[in-house]
Amino acid sequence: MAAKEDIALTIERQAAARRLLTDPLITARSHPEDFALVHAHSDWLIRRFQRVLGYELVVADDHARLVKTGLVHTVATPLHRDSGAPFTPRAYTYLTLTLAALADADPRTTVAELASGVRAAARDAGLDIDPRSRLGERRAFVAGLTRLVAWGALTETSGSLADYATDGTREVALDVDHGVAAHVLARAPHSTTTPEDFIDLTQSDAVSSDARAVELTLRRLLAETAVIYRTELDTAHRARLAGHQWRAAAELAELLGCDTEVRAEGVALIMPGDTAADARGAEQPATFPGPGPVGQAALTLLSRLATMLAPPSFSHAVPIPAELLDAELASVVDDDTRQWSRTVLSHVPDPDDLAARVLQLLRDSRLLDRVAVDADHPTAGWRLLAAAARYRDSAFPRSGAE
């Protein structure tokens, strides 16, 4: 009986750790079941995140914030709107201005009052923007508000932000959780630093030659990216990975409950299936392929390309002929659009948008990359990376493109 209880305890702790890695900010309101697990195992999680990844975990009565450091340039992924489109610079601007306005907001406020506060914060920052000026501005403002609702910093108590986005006369009442809002930013920027200096401060450990920093960088890369390719590492990190990859794998497995796949080309963590079950505004992409038309189309395209090109063992990357990628991407997008158009509740992106998102997902998942950019030919310069070989379909016929 004791052994079963120990196993159940470990499973709970690892599930909580995976949730925090995917959603660094969770609240009792936005993720009630997940937060209950984090709160119950907070001591263990705080110690393990600090030891294994060097991350600070703050657990309050109603929210938890995993403060990540390092690898900003390497692993940062954009926020997304509910439609799946990435945040624009305008949306990020409104999000940060809203956070500034929330510092002085009452616990109960309205969207109109927040809009006034944002306008004042923009004026203090020397920006000539107003969320009430036109539809595009209001939608960017609402994108930030919607993300704050998902994080639990705001709660809609009456009215709808979606309605306000289309009609600026709509009234929306909001509750403010100042504790959560204060932890949305992992680190508040200092007035004396430039944006570049601010990012470099959190990135600094990735370029350090200190053995502990090199080890942390490798563990963070394993935990935060889909695949580590040995050829892409510098000499110090490649040597550290070769000598300590199994120790790092064991530490991460104990924290996250994951398996590790080690090959000559690189190393990848294989997460349990529940990791992709609920992204809910996560800062990181869900485990590949994820649900929905984009993930399914990406998986189909990858399987076809890996089978047709059949990359040889120990090959880091194989060029994809542009005409082959054009034809296969068009075929997959067409099939996927027809399939999802039959479902009443699914949002189906237009073909061009779907194709772009498929390529971006495969790039983010470190299965494809691009060595040349041609604005007039979006499928030029793409390569199939080594990890794609695991998706090869032996039943699918090869073409002469290899």
- Is the separation of the CB atoms in 37 and 12 below 8 Å? yes
- Is the separation of the CB atoms in 60 and 67 below 8 Å? no
Q: Which of 127, 149, 182 is the last residue of a domain?
A: 182
The reply to whether 135 falls in a domain is yes
Say which CATH number the domain at 344 has: 1.10.10
The reply to whether 190 falls in a domain is no
For 258-277, write each residue's pLDDT tens digit. 999 888 889 988 888 655 44
Tokens found for residue 295: 């993930």
Same domain as 269, residue 297: no
Same domain as 314, residue 377: yes
Percent of the chain residues past pLDDT 90, beyond the cut: 43
Q: Which of 149, 182, 215 is the last residue of a domain?
A: 182
- Is the separation of the CB atoms in 59 and 66 below 8 Å? no
Compute the distance between CA of residue 175 and CA of residue 177 in angstroms, rounded to an integer.
7
Same domain as 299, residue 376: yes
Same domain as 239, residue 176: no
Q: Which of 22, 39, 68 is the last residue of a domain?
A: 68
Indicate the DSSP class of residue 107: S
Same domain as 299, residue 387: yes
- Is the separation of the CB atoms in 245 and 267 below 8 Å? yes
Residue in the block written with tokens 């599930």:
15
Same domain as 168, residue 144: yes
- Is the separation of the CB atoms in 210 and 193 below 8 Å? no
Compute the distance between CA of residue 34 and CA of residue 4 in angstroms, rounded to an integer.
21
Same domain as 42, residue 16: yes
- E strand intervals along 61-181: 63-67, 108-110, 154-158, 173-176
Compute the distance between CA of residue 253 and CA of residue 313 in angstroms, rounded to an integer.
27
The reply to whether 175 falls in a domain is yes
The reply to whether 282 falls in a domain is no
The reply to whether 253 falls in a domain is yes
Compute the distance between CA of residue 171 and CA of residue 56 in angstroms, rounded to an integer.
39
Q: What is the pLDDT of residue 376?
A: 62
> For the chain, what is the mean pLDDT?
83
Same domain as 64, residue 104: no
Residue in the block written with tokens 């998102």:
357
The reply to whether 402 falls in a domain is no
Q: What is the pLDDT of residue 327?
A: 92
Same domain as 316, residue 261: no
Please give the tally of structural domains in the chain: 4
Same domain as 272, residue 297: no
Percent of the chain residues past pLDDT 70, beyond the cut: 82
* Residue 397 in this model has a pLDDT that exceeds 60: no
280 Cβ contact partners less than 8 Å away, ≥ 6 residues apart: 23, 30, 31, 150
The reply to whether 281 falls in a domain is no
Same domain as 219, residue 129: no
Parent domain of 265: 200-276
pTM across the whole model: 0.80
Q: What is the pLDDT of residue 294?
A: 83
Same domain as 306, residue 269: no
Compute the distance between CA of residue 365 and CA of residue 38 in angstroms, rounded to an integer.
27
For 178-223, write each residue's pLDDT tens digit. 999 988 887 776 665 677 777 776 665 545 567 888 888 899 999 9
The reply to whether 14 falls in a domain is yes
Compute the distance between CA of residue 181 and CA of residue 175 in angstroms, rounded to an integer.
11
Residue in the block written with tokens 């995917």:
22
> What mean pLDDT is predicted for residues 173-182?
93
Compute the distance between CA of residue 275 and CA of residue 287 in angstroms, rounded to an integer.
6
Secondary structure element (H or E) that encloses residue 98, with its range: helix 89-102
Q: What is the pLDDT of residue 279?
A: 44
Residue in the block written with tokens 């794998």:
249
